[in-house]
Structure 1
C-alpha cells in the first residue's frame, strides 16, 4: 500500500460522486430529511429529545452502508476493479481509498445532519457539540467500512440489500433504541453490547444529555474504531476482482 495510490483512488471516487447528483442527495440530504420526519412525528413531545441522538447514529449509518457497498460492487461488476488491480494498485489501496473518500463525505454528511437536527429540529445538546461531531463521524465511517466489507462478499446489488438483515437490522433492534439494553434478556443484552452501533448510540445520547464525561465517550469511540479497522482489513483480504 502506498499513500499516492490510496489518494488517487479517493480522488477518483469523489470525482465520480461529484458527477452523480442523486448519490450526493442521498448522502447529504436524505439522513437530515429522515431526522426531520422523526422530529415532526413527535412534535411538541419530549420523545425526540430522547431518541434524536439515536437517529443521528441510525440514518447516516444505514445510508453510508448502502452507498459504500453498492458503489464498490459496481466497480467489480463493471470490470473496473479488475483493470485497476492489474496495475500496481493493491486491494489495500483500493479499500483505503474508498474509505478515505467516503470518510470525507461522512464529515460533510455529519455536519449537515447535526446542524439540521440542532438548529431546525430543535434537538437540545447539553454536552460538547464538537464531541457530538466526532462520535457521529465515527458512526458514519462505521457504516462505510461495514458496507465495504459486505460488498466483498456480495455478487449483486440485491445481495447487498440482503446483507442488511444480517449486518444492520440486529444492531438497530439490540442497540437500545426501542428498549434499553439492560432491560433485554441477558443473551440479547450481551450481543447488543458487542455491536458497534450500540456504542455509537450510547455515546451520542450521553453527549446530548450531558450525563457522561469523556471517560465514558472515548472508550466507545475506540470500540467503534476497532470495528472500522477490522472491517477494512477483512474487506481488503476478501475483496475479489470480479463477481463470479
Structure 2
C-alpha cells in the first residue's frame, strides 16, 4: 500500500470479512436449537408414543364403547354420541398431552442445566422459546394428523364442515398446550410441580368450556370466566365446523381468538423465562 507525503492511499481499501449479523446468528441458533430438541424428543420413545398414540387409542376405545349403544331419538341433524365425544376428544387431548409433555421437558432441561447453558449464548429468550415451540408444534401436528386420520377414515367420524378445519383446530389446540406448558414451566422447580399445574390450568378449562354443562346454562360469573379461557373458543370452533358445511363467522372468530391466546402464552413464557436455575 503506497504512502505519499504521509498520507495513506485509499484507492484499494482493505477487505474485511463481513459478519453475518445478529439476525443471521439468531436464525442459525434457532434452527440448531430446534433440531436438537427434535433429536432429543425422537430419542425419548415413551414421549413419542404418548404424543402420537395415546389420543388415537383413547378415541378408538370410545368408538368401541359407543358402537353397540343404540342412538335413541335425537333431533334431526344432531350428531351421534360417538361423533360428539370424538369431537370433544380431538379438541381436548392435544391440549392436555402437549401441555404435559412441554412443561415436563422444559423443567427437565432446566434441572439438567441445559437451559442455563443455552441462555449464556447470544441466543435470545424469544428465539429459544420459538425453537421449543416449533419443535413441539411439529410433534403436535403429527399427533393431530394421526388422530384425525384414525377418526375420519377408520372410525367413521363425520362433520358437516371440511375435515381440514378439524385438523387445523386440533393443531392450534396442541400448540396452545405447548404455549401454556412453556409458560407454566417457568414457575415450577421440579417435574412434579410442573405436573401439578395441570389441575390449576387445564381442569378449569375442561369444566367450563361446555363439555359438561353448556356455557349458556352456566351462572353469569362462571360464564364470564369461561369467556376468558381459550378452550371455550376451541371447542366452540369445532362445534361450528361439525354443524355447518361452510366455515362460519363464529368459527373464524374463535380460531383467531385461540391463536391470540397462543401468541400471548408464548410472549409471557419468554418474559418469565429465568436465566438462572433456582
* TMscore range, shorter length: over 0.9
Is 2:166 the partner of 1:142? no
Q: Which runs of 4+ in 1 moved over 4 A?
A: none
Larger Rg: 2
Give the match for residue 20 of structure 1.
Answer: 44
* Number of residue equivalences: 244
8 Å contact from structure 1 (residues 73, 151) kept in 2: yes
- Shifted more, 169-178 versus 196-205: the winner is 196-205
Distance 1:220 1:164 in 2: 23
Structure 1 residue aligned with 2:59, among 35, 38, 62?
A: 35
RMSD: 1.5
1:189 to 1:153, Cα distance in 2 relative to 1, 3 A: same
Give the match for residue 262 of structure 2.
Answer: 228
Is 2:38 the partner of 1:4? no
- Secondary structure of 1:11's match? helix
Name the TM-score, length of structure 2 as normaliser: 0.84
How far does the alpha carbon of each residue in 1:11-55 deviate from its partner, in whole angstroms, 9 at most, with x for none?
111011111111110111011111222222222443121232111
Is 2:227 the partner of 1:193? yes
Structure 1 residue aligned with 2:100, among 52, 66, 69?
A: 66
Q: How do residues 209-224 of structure 1 correspond to structure 2 at under 5 angstroms? A: 209-210=243-244, 213-224=247-258
Structure 2 residue aligned with 1:153, among 187, 212, 218?
A: 187
More helix by share: 1
How far does the alpha carbon of each residue in 1:134-178 deviate from its partner, in whole angstroms, 9 at most, with x for none?
111111100010000011111111111111111000000001011
Structure 2 residue aligned with 1:208, among 234, 237, 242?
A: 242
How far does the alpha carbon of each residue in 1:158-205 deviate from its partner, in whole angstroms, 9 at most, with x for none?
111111111000000001011110011111112112210111111112
Distance 1:9 1:225 in 2: 24
8 Å contact from structure 2 (residues 107, 189) kept in 1: yes
8 Å contact from structure 1 (residues 176, 198) kept in 2: yes
Gaps of 5+ in 1: none
* Structure 1 residue 242, shift from structure 2 partner: 4.3
Distance 1:159 1:187 in 2: 29
8 Å contact from structure 1 (residues 76, 241) kept in 2: no
Give the match for residue 76 of structure 2.
Answer: none
How far does the alpha carbon of each residue in 1:202-232 deviate from its partner, in whole angstroms, 9 at most, with x for none?
1112212226633221211111111111111
Name the TM-score, length of structure 1 as normaliser: 0.95
1:195 to 1:211, Cα distance in 2 relative to 1, 3 A: farther
- Secondary structure of 1:29's match? helix
Give the match for residue 121 of structure 2.
Answer: 87
Q: How do residues 118-137 of structure 1 correspond to structure 2 at under 5 angstroms? A: 118-137=152-171
- Secondary structure of 1:127's match? coil
